[in-house]
A and B are shown apart, each in its own frame.
Chain A
Amino acid sequence: MKALGKGSLASILAAGLHIVRVVIFVAFAGLAIAAVMLPLGPALLELASRVEGVNVESDLVIEGGDYIRLVYYFVTFGVMLYIVNRLLEILRTLRFGSPFVKENAVRFRRVGYALLFGEAAKLFFGFFSLVSGAEIDVKIELIAWIGIAAVFVLAEVFHEGARMKEEQDLTV
Chain B
Amino acid sequence: MAITVKLDRMLLERGMSLTELSERVGVTIANLSILKTGKAKAIRFSTLEAICRELDCQPGDILFYEPDL
> Of A166, A167, A170, A172, which is within 8 A of B47 by CB?
A172
Q: Count contacts between A and B, CB distance < 8 Å.
A: 23
A171 within 8 A of B: yes
Say which size band chain B's interface belongs to.
Answer: 10 to 19
Would you give the shortest CB distance from B43 to chain A, in whole angstroms? 5
Residues of the A chain whose Cβ atoms lie less than 8 Å from the Cβ of B41? 166-167, 170-171
List B contacts of A172 (CB < 8 A): 27, 31-32, 34-35, 40, 42-44, 47
Residue numbers of A with Cβ under 8 A of B are 166-167, 170-172
Check B14 for interface membership: any CB of A closer than 8 A.
no
Q: Is the interface of A mostly helix, strand, loop or mixed?
A: mixed
B53 at the interface (CB under 8 A from A): no
User: Hey, which chain B residues are within 8 Å of A170, CB to CB?
Assistant: 34, 39-42
Cα distance, A171 to B42, chains bound together (Å): 5
* Per-position 1/0 for B31-68, Cβ under 8 A of A: 11011000111111001000000000000000000000
What are 11 A-B pairs at a CB distance below 8 A?
A166-B41, A170-B39, A171-B41, A171-B42, A171-B43, A171-B44, A172-B27, A172-B31, A172-B35, A172-B40, A172-B44
Other than the given A171-B40, A172-B31, A172-B43, 16 more pairs (CB < 8 A) read: A166-B41, A167-B41, A170-B34, A170-B39, A170-B40, A170-B41, A170-B42, A171-B42, A171-B43, A171-B44, A172-B27, A172-B32, A172-B34, A172-B40, A172-B42, A172-B47
A172 to B27, CA, bound (A): 8
